[in-house]
Every structure is written in C-alpha cells, then in structure tokens.
Structure 1
Amino acid sequence: MRRPRLALVPGEPAGVGPELAVAALRRESDADLVVFAEAATLARAARVLGTALTFHDSRADRAQLGDDGVRLVEVPNVAEAAFGSPDPRNARSVVLALRMAAEACMAGEYDGMVTGPVHKATINAGGIAYTGTTELLAAHAGCEVVMMLANPLMRVALATTHLPLRAVADALDGERLERTLRILHAALRGDFGIDDPLVAVLGLNPHAGEQGHLGREEIEVVAPVLERLRAEGMRLDGPLPADTAFLPRRLAATDAVLAMYHDQGLPVLKYSGFEQAVNLTLGLPYPRVAVDHGTALDLAGSGRADPSSMLAAVAACARIAGVRRTREQQR
C-alpha cells in the first residue's frame, strides 16, 4: 500500500510553526509530506535548528530528495517574517496556504492535511475575518464539523467550541447535539476503525444537573437526544457528571468523551498529556490534524520549541488516512 501523501501547512511564519514543520520534514514518518509555505521562511527555521533544506517540486519522488530534500508548494509572504513579531501583511499568505492545501485535499491530490498554529489576532488585523482554521476548513468544504482533541490516553470532542461561558447553555440545543454525536460516531468508526464505539456524554451542569435541581438541560436537551440515538444502536453513556467521567476506570472502557464546552473537557486532556495532544477536525472529506498549542512567539527562533505535538499530528493524520483508504477498498 502506498504511503499517505499529506499537505503540511506551518501556519504563522513568525511563530514556531516553521521550526516544527522543519522538524517533521527531517524526521522519518509513515507519510510523504509536502509543505505549503515560503522557502525562505523554512530555510531560516532550518538554520535555527542547525540543519539545511533543499527544495523540490511537490511531485518529486523519494529517491530525488536525498538527505535534506523536501517537497514544497511555494506560498510567498508579503513581508519578511521576523521571529516573534507577526506582521498583518502576511495574513493573506497564511490563509492562502491553508486554502491551497484544502483545495488540493478536496481534489484528491493529498490524503490529509497537517496544520501548525496560526495567530488569529494578526489575521484579523490583516483585514480577514477569522475565527479559526477549523471554521475556515468547514466553510470551504461546505460541511459541519466537530472539534476533537486526542492524546494517547483519551479523545475529547466538543459540543460547543469557542463561546463565552454565558452563551453555552443557549447554544446547546437538541438538534446541534444530535448532529455532533452523529459526526463523532461516524468518525470513530471511519477514521479510527472502531466498529462499535462507546461515547461518554457529559452533562452541562454540576453533577449532571442533580435531577433538575442544578439545571434542566440534562433532562430537557441531553437525555432525549441520547435516547433517540440509543434506539438506533449507538452506545452512549450519560449524561454523566464531568467531575467523575475522567476516572481511569471509566476511560478504560470509553472510546471518546463528548464535553459540552471547551473548558469542561480540554483541561483534563491537556493535563494528562499536553505534549502528545493533537487537534482533529471530524466530518471533513479528508483528515485534518493540527498541533494542540499556539504560536509560542516567545520561543520562535530559539530552536527550543518542542515538536512532539507536530510529530504526533503527522502520525495521527497518516494513520487516519490509512484507515480511510482500507475502508474504501473494502467497500
């Protein structure tokens, strides 16, 4: 079986993304990587890491690359990137690289996409309304998606993502929750090869509402959705109190946890294994896996940025691409 071909987009050129991309390009993996970025930015990052790169066409075969060769789709920056100082003039280049990689994935030229961290404030300062790469890729593909973070110990998906806490309850309706669970269930089967996954669904309120005494969302929103989907054969545990749902004995039998909001589930996941955590966008026509951290502007150019999450993202994307291809061949 051929190796998965993955598009690698480093993200903000003034952050640690280029250094992480170079680390991934120089490390042996189970995928053929093609980086969508500016050659000069990557070369500068390589010098920081004490190495050098030779750039080749995106279609170059492995034999042509040699020890220091990388496949590149050139996406020039408008302004020269300075370590630690994002320039709004480069916002369009950052977004263009993501769009070009997404187009190529949609066209079947790549088996998946791996992305580094972007600087949302700088992109917005550059005149582009930008809420996140997950939202950008979902809009581009014209589909609904679910954000899920994963490390070797657990997978945590989110029913709502980047919302103020006071807005979460209003955003959590039965239709949205049902769509989220369907996308999550399909991804666990199609991307992770789990034929009959068990999902632990958290309640919104403390103690999962304490039978309505601490809130009625579990009774009026969450439980009815779980009952409908259980009738279709999904294995769903909940609604569960969040404070005990992550106990090891529970996680041992659980394939994923669905948290109702960002800070309900992600602090536990990041505490349990931040360096190996990755961010997945479920529901896209292609696998997309990102690092689970920001641009780390204070580390940019130092050569001290930990590439563990980037390496884990490449490995996860390659695995998912392989599972998808196997399933397609079995149809």
Structure 2
Amino acid sequence: MKSMNLNKAVCMRLVLALAAVALAVTMAPGRTVAAGQAEGVLEISLADYVAAYVANSDEVATARENAENAETQWQRAVAEKQARLTIEELENTAYTRKLALQETVNNVVIKAVQAYVDLDQAMRDLAAKRVALNVAEERLRVTRLRYEAGLTTRDSVLQQENSYISATDALVKAEINIKQVKESFCEAAGLEPADTIALTTDVSSLYTGEVEFARDEVLEAARKASSSYFSAAAAADIARRKHEALKDPMIATKNERDQAAKADSDAQARLSDAEKSLVSSVDNALATLESLMRSLEMQTISAELAAADLEVARIRFDHGEMLQYELDSQVSSAEQAQFRAVQAKIDLFLQVLRIVALTGGDAMGLITR
C-alpha cells in the first residue's frame, strides 16, 4: 500500500483545493456573483456562475459531509487503538470519500458549465427563430403579391402559409423554452430569478485548440483519481492479506478460512470489474474527443462555405437577381453555420473538462485560467 499512500498525499491537496472553491463562495459575506445585477436583470460570467452553482449544490454538501464523517471515524479508531486492519479499512474509506468529494466537485462544475452553455444555446435559438419568422413572413407577403399579379400559383401561397405557421409555432416553443431554461439556470445556482440574463463569457474561447492526451497517462491518472477503483483496490489488498493471515489453522477455524478465501476471491473480482470499467471510461472519453475534433473541422469548413455563399448572394442581390427575403435567409444560414462551428468548440471544451475530471484534475482551474 506504499504507492497508494503516496498517491493519497497528492490527491488530498487537490481535494482540499476543490473543496476550498465551494467553501469560499459559501462563507464569503456579501459576495457579488454577478458582474452587474439590477432588479430582474442578471449579468454574470462563467466563473462566477460555476462558483455559485457549486456552493449551492446539495451533491457537494453531501459528499463533503461524508468525507468529514469518514475522516472522524478513522481518527477515532486511531485514538481508540483499534485493530490494525480495522484502522486501515477506515483510513481507506476516508480516502475514498475524499476522492469522491473531488469527483463530485468536478462533476458539478461540468454541470454548471453545461447549464451556462444551455442558456446561451437557448438564447441563440430564440434569436434564430425570430429571424426565421421574419423571413417566412416576408416570403409569404411576396408570394401573395406575385399570386395577385398572376406570377405564381395558389399552391405556392398555401405552401408559404404553412411555412409561416410552422415558423410561428417554432418561435412560440423557443420562447417557452427560454423561460424554463432561465428559471432552471437561476434556481440551480441559488440566484434570484431574472427576466434578462447577460452571459459575459464566451465559452468557446476557452477551447485553445491545444489538446493532446496520451492514453496510458490518462489511464494511470484515472486509476489514481477514481474513488471506486481505489476502494476496490484497497479492499482487494486487505482481503488478500486477511486470507493470508487466516490460512494458519492454529489461529482460524475452517469456517473462517473459507469465508476469508471467498471474500478474497470476491474482492479480486470486484477489482477486475473496476479496472475494466475504468479502461472503458478512458477509451470512450478519448474516442469522443477525437470525434468532436473531427466534427469541429467539418463545421469550420461548412461555416467557411456558408460565408462564401453569402458573399455570392450579396453580389446577386446588388445586381437585382435576388429578393430581400432570399438574402435575409442566406444571412441566417451563414450565421447558423458559424454558430454550429462555435458550438463544436464548446462541445470540445466540455469534453476536455470531462477528461480532466476523469483524471483527477481541477476542472474549475480551466475555467478561471
């Protein structure tokens, strides 16, 4: 267990640092979480929102309480001079709970970032739906005029009326969605409800493009950071030593020896399962990262093509070869293509956060750097 104890010291410092983030927010009197806030208006950065979200999290509070209780039980066992293996089991439990606290804080940080991103997406979607409705309305108006002039058919008018109704319905749904997302956004972080929310951080800018993870290094770091893997490894080690100790018929009954052998076998099986699960998590995380990098490349190319198409459309419009609503539609398409490229960068940043969390790093540090 020497190597395991060495890893404990490193990880405990990370745990304390992560816990301090939430604790500082909780204890700071009169802390302002927003860059600027008036009645019904909230202006907030990603770092401030994440800090408030973590401080308001029941998951973090429960994990911290569990870690503190396990630490207390271990220290009490030491003070009472209980059996050596009992003390070691309690020490392992305390350390497992500390790792679990670290995992919980990182996971809650990721949830907070996702909530921030979801609101940004909902805002963009609402804006896009408004543009789409304006385009549909103008297209319908022009189609009706062309029909009255005998230049198109009644079916064309009906088609545009359907498109207009569909665009109207989409806008209504987007307005309902943005209201719900805003409510969830504020409630999750313990903030006062706000009708107007300004997000001051461009999350896509946090993805620097400098992403490189070596599988073996990620896997090794994940082993050290995983509470479930450490718990299984520690339990397997103790079960093995108990089995060895009870093999002597002079100090243990046959029933005790059989129970110890079964406990050892079960513990080794659980460790094997934990290893397989960990390897699968690492491989899936890295595969997802590679897929998202390819997606970003494709979306970037698509955005460039859409921008080129828009330039051609502007030229055609200037030469009288295109109607205003057609140009507006092309502008909207280019903006949506650009947004998809931005969203691809955000998805990549979130995946980097997940890998950092998986390896026991400080997810909050990537946000505040």
Query: What TM-score bracket applies, with the shorter chain setting the length?
Result: under 0.3
Richer in helix (by share): 2
| Higher CA-based Rg | 2
Richer in strand (by share): 1
TM score, norm. by length of structure 2: 0.22
TM score, norm. by length of structure 1: 0.24
